[in-house]
Amino acid sequence: MFDTFIRTLTGPCDVKRGDSILVCLSGGIDSMVLLHLMKEASAILDLRLGVLHVDHGIRGADSKRDAQFVQNVCRDMSVKFFLEELHLGADRPNLEEMARVKRYEAIIECMHAHGFNFAATGHTLDDQVETILYRFIRGSGIRGMSGIQYAREDGIIRPLLDITKTQIDSFALGNHIDYMEDLTNKDISIPRNLIRHEIIPLMQRINPCVIQSIARFSKIAAKEGAILDEMVTTLIRDAIKLDWGIIRCFDKGKLIGAKGAIAKRLIIDIISEMIGEPRGIDALQVDMVMDVLHSKRASHDIKRKVRVVSCKEDIVFHVTGQGPFYNATVKSPGIYYLPRINQSIRIGYNASHLDLLTIRSWLPGDTIHGKKVVKILSDNGIIQPLRVFWPVVLNRGEIVAIAGIKNLKTLDNNYNLNIEFPYVA
């Protein structure tokens, strides 16, 4: 089993000699085996190890017990220990998803704060299969079927992904590895536990090697997904009309003209990135967006984070929420980068009384010279979804310019302003 672990660690996880790895240790059997394997690997690969335990604050005294257990293990193994307490409480809505998101945030923060190249989690081959089945039940596409990645771009790695739970149990027993039992793992009201304890055993009655079969299927899906990704990249390049990060506009006709699977994959990729959810969105959401693309509905919201809008010849994806989406102070004439929309604006002036200039996105009720800014943007051909994110320039709280609008001569003359947007060096 150790040979398999080393092959995965140095292969798809891409760990090199001398790297530093933060081991994410819950105290359960999978993570405890991970720590022991990583400790053994560190002697061979000259790895610097640390351990992070995340206390979600959900299970009361049991959480404290687990944290103390992990700390004691790290002391005995002479491994640096880090503790992160989240204080989530057990009564939060959508608790499982929130705990996952906050846990990964804590892992990334600790990894960066203490100079680790990687952070390793204890996901096993069985976890891979459970994930694939869960996504299948939710109606995920081929991206979901590719399962858990060995390595993410942010440095998270899963070196146990080629090792089964049976192997983990045998290794722990044979090496007398202590671990803490999380009783919530037996609660079949939690979907993943139901899959683990009831659905997979039923499938094994048909095929005793179903774990390995589904794992092979996920690797096939990953390879086919990579081909789709290449096609999507080409389609994005051909169809994109505007990309400000938080709002993206595509030529509707080009998306409709593409193969359905390619258009759907583009939708999944764009929305997954914009909502910060690498696992993608389910098939129902994709179908709703396809309805927008084909003008069967005007718009659709995904998780109250992203809205997809049909707009004449375009389909627009943009984040939701209340503005302003950015607010920047202008200290002197020059070029100002607005990271939220990934655009730069050049502001030139020679009037000494322009001492409190700011740039922000449009807000409802904004006016300039008694005219509604939204009406001016509309008259200048700015599509409705884009107006919400459009930059305006203020002096002491009063709008004195609208980015990219060149026909406000009276205003420009009064303040000697010269606005270039978008600015290209």
* 184 secondary structure, DSSP code: G
Q: Are residues 31 and 169 in the same domain?
A: yes
Q: Are residues 43 and 175 in the same domain?
A: yes
Whether 206 is covered by a domain: the verdict is: no
- Model pTM score: 0.73
How many folded domains does the chain comprise?
3
Residue with more model confidence, 352 or 401: 401
pLDDT category at 410 given cuts 50, 70, 90 is: very low
* 183 secondary structure, DSSP code: G
Task: With a cut of 60, say whether residue 365 has pLDDT above it.
Answer: yes
Q: Which of 284, 319, 354 is the last residue of a domain?
A: 319
Whether 249 is covered by a domain: the verdict is: yes
404 strand-pairing partners: none
Q: Are residues 6 and 115 in the same domain?
A: yes
> By percentage, how much of the chain surpasses pLDDT 90?
68
Q: Please name the residues in contact with 349: beta carbons below 8 A apart, sequence gap of 6 or more.
A: 333, 357, 415, 416, 417, 418
Q: Are residues 393 and 303 in the same domain?
A: no
Q: Are residues 115 and 57 in the same domain?
A: yes
Residue with more model confidence, 186 or 244: 244
Rounded average pLDDT over 407-422: 66
Residue with more model confidence, 189 or 33: 33
Distances (CA, A) of 2 to 41, 171, 175, 216, 318: 9, 10, 12, 21, 47
pLDDT digit string (tens) for 54-71?
987 666 677 788 889 999
